[in-house]
Amino acid sequence: MSELETLQSILFSGPWIWDSNEHSQIEFNDNGTGTLICRQELNVWIAAEFDWKLPSSEVLQQVFNSHTTSRKPQVITEFDIEMTLTKRRIPGRELPHYRINECLLTEKAFEPKMYTVRIEKGVLLTQSDRMYAVSTRDSRRFTLRLVLDKSPFPPREEWKRAEGAPDALRFWEWTELYARGISAAEMGVWTRFWNLFD
C-alpha cells in the first residue's frame, strides 16, 4: 500500500514525543514557530516556543512513501534546519508559578543552532523505553522517528545549574522523537504477522 506524503505533512505530524507518556516533546508549526517541552512527571524545565527555518522551503514539498511493514527503521529523508529557542512561553501553558526556560538556562541556549535531521519510518520503540523500560513487550510503538544530530534540549553547559535533574536525566542525550503511535489493535495484527516469521 502506498501512502505518499510531503515532508511538510510528515514534519507537522507532531507532536514528536521523546517518551511514551508524552511528557517531553517538540512540535513544528507551519508558520516557522514551534514548541519545545522538557518535563518528567510533575517537573517542568522548559516549555517554550522556538523559531525554525530551512535552507530552502522547497525541501518541504519533497514526496515520500510513509507506509511501513518493517520493524527495522528505514530512512525517509535527511535535511538541515535552524532552530532558535525563545523565551516566549507556550500560549495556554504559561505556567506562571514555575521557574522554567530563561530562569534555568544561560543566554547561549537562546542562540540559533543548526541541526541535521533524519526522518525514519518503521515500527519503533521510543528512545526513553529503550533506555529505561524494564520490559518493552507492552510499550507503545510509533511509525515515525525524527533523529537529530544533537538534542533539541540544551547541552549541559547551557544550564545555569546542571546539578540535580539535568545531570541525572541528561536531557542533552535525548536525540530521538516519535510520532504516529500504533494502536493496541494494530499492534495485535503486527505481532501475529511477525510471529509467522520468528
The domain limits of the chain are 4-195
Share of the chain above pLDDT 90, in %: 64
Instruction: Please write the tens of the pLDDT for every residue from 36-59.
Output: 999 988 899 999 999 999 988 889
Instruction: Please write the tens of the pLDDT for every residue from 143-182.
Output: 999 999 999 999 999 999 999 999 999 999 999 999 999 8
pLDDT at res. 185: 67
> Residue 184 — very low, low, confident or very high, per pLDDT cuts 50/70/90?
low
Instruction: Report the Cα–Cα distance between both ends of the chain, in Å, rounded.
Output: 23
The C-alpha cell at 5 is 506524503
pLDDT above 50 (res 194): no
Average pLDDT along the chain: 88
pLDDT at res. 5: 93
CA–CA distance, 150 with 137 (Å, rounded to integer): 28
pLDDT at res. 21: 85
